Structure 1
């Protein structure tokens, strides 16, 4: 019998979207439990570490977005085909996590001057990020190996807000453009993107 999964997070992409993409790409059914900010204080004390997202698998609960995504990648065969591939995949995913942290830090800055400074610093950071990823990327439409991994999904998720401002962001990065095309062409991912709620981060 297939495990019963429930992912609990705010109605945001941010730290929950990669796991949603893994579920979508793998065609795995789950309960996408999106809660309101007003619901969080009552739930917080009942969570393992006082934070989200939360993954419930057959009644067992784990938190930390990275741990959740890695677990589901292993469970769905999207984590890499060898220990070395797994390490490479995790390297790319960790890099995207750094990117998302920078994007969130700029978006959620309460001080306008700080927000402006952080947003301005994103340009050089994103350029270096893309340069590195293009250099390390495989030639066949995948960051690692010859089949879809959650590194490809993470890269696509991380690019969302960049594409909002620069639709041609990958024009000078042919290998990465091919990765984005691979993810976009995945039937499960395409269906999820078409149906997901529009959120600002």
Structure 2
């Protein structure tokens, strides 16, 4: 029986950063994916009636960032001491701020309103948050390509994942941020990540 089971829908979404952590760590796990039509049958089994959920040695843990932070600590991707972990968390929380601004336009049902919200998001919110991330990367990265102390952490994986979604909508959104582009390129070049990206299921988001 696997020590790790990850439950989510059949897409990247909020589970993908954990899958990337498993990939870079070379850790086997059960990647349990539910189709939307199946979810009502399993919802009651999840602690907060939502996913992703990580089951570790028989106990279920909800909340995507809590799962990612736990896994990052398990596999030495969270920072090498308390202050380094705080810097990694500062980057991750800044990425989370960006994601929070993306939720309203992404899930707006009205097509016209969605277009307006998405345009405002990319024109106003994205540059502000990318600038913040650029500042942190240059402040903490020690002149390297990764966000904190010139080695890969889960914050780099989280950024890679979130920007994959944003670049799918606006392929030019990173054009003014060469450091951030280089960061994503370095993540993509990691052999285990490259292998995972080639082999993972192809999903729209």
Q: Taking structure 1 as the reference length, what is the TM-score of the superposition?
A: 0.92
Contact conserved, 2:18 with 2:67, CA < 8 A, in 1?
A: yes
- Contact 2:156-2:187 within 8 A present in 1 as well: yes
Pick the aligned partner of 2:149 from 139, 145, 154. Answer: 145
Partner in structure 1 of residue 119 of structure 2: 120
Cα drift, residue 81 of structure 1: 1.0
Over the residues paired in the alignment, what is the CA RMSD in angstroms? 1.8
Separation in 1 of the partners of 2:177 and 2:84? 22
The CA distance in 1 between the partners of 2:102 and 2:192, in whole Å, is 26
Q: What 5-or-longer segments of structure 2 have no aligned partner? A: none
> Would you say 1:130 and 2:130 are equivalent positions?
yes
The aligned length equals 200
1:23-46 superposed Cα distances (whole Å, 9 cap, x missing partner) = 111111111111111111121112
Rounded to whole Å, the distance in 1 between the matches of 2:155 and 2:172 is 21
SS at match of 1:106: helix
SS in 1 for 2:14: coil
Aligned 8 A contact 1:14 1:100 in 2: no
| 1:171 shift after superposition | 3.3
The question of 1:44 aligning with 2:63 is answered no
**8 Å contact kept, 1:10–1:37:** yes
Q: Deviations over 1:40-76 (max 9, x none)?
A: 1121112111111010112111111011000000001
Q: 2:105 maps to which residue?
A: 106
Q: Which of 170, 177, 181 is residue 173 of structure 1 equivalent to?
A: 177
Task: Work out whether residues 140 and 178 of structure 1, in 8 Å CA contact, stay in contact via their aligned partners in 2.
Answer: no
Gaps of 5+ in 1: none
After the TM superposition, which parts of structure 1 deviate over 4 Å for at least 4 consecutive aligned residues? none
The 5 A counterparts of 1:1-201 are 4-123=3-122, 124-137=124-137, 138=141, 139-201=143-205
TM-superposed CA distance for 1:3, in Å, is 6.4
- 2: CA distance between counterparts of 1:105 and 1:200? 19
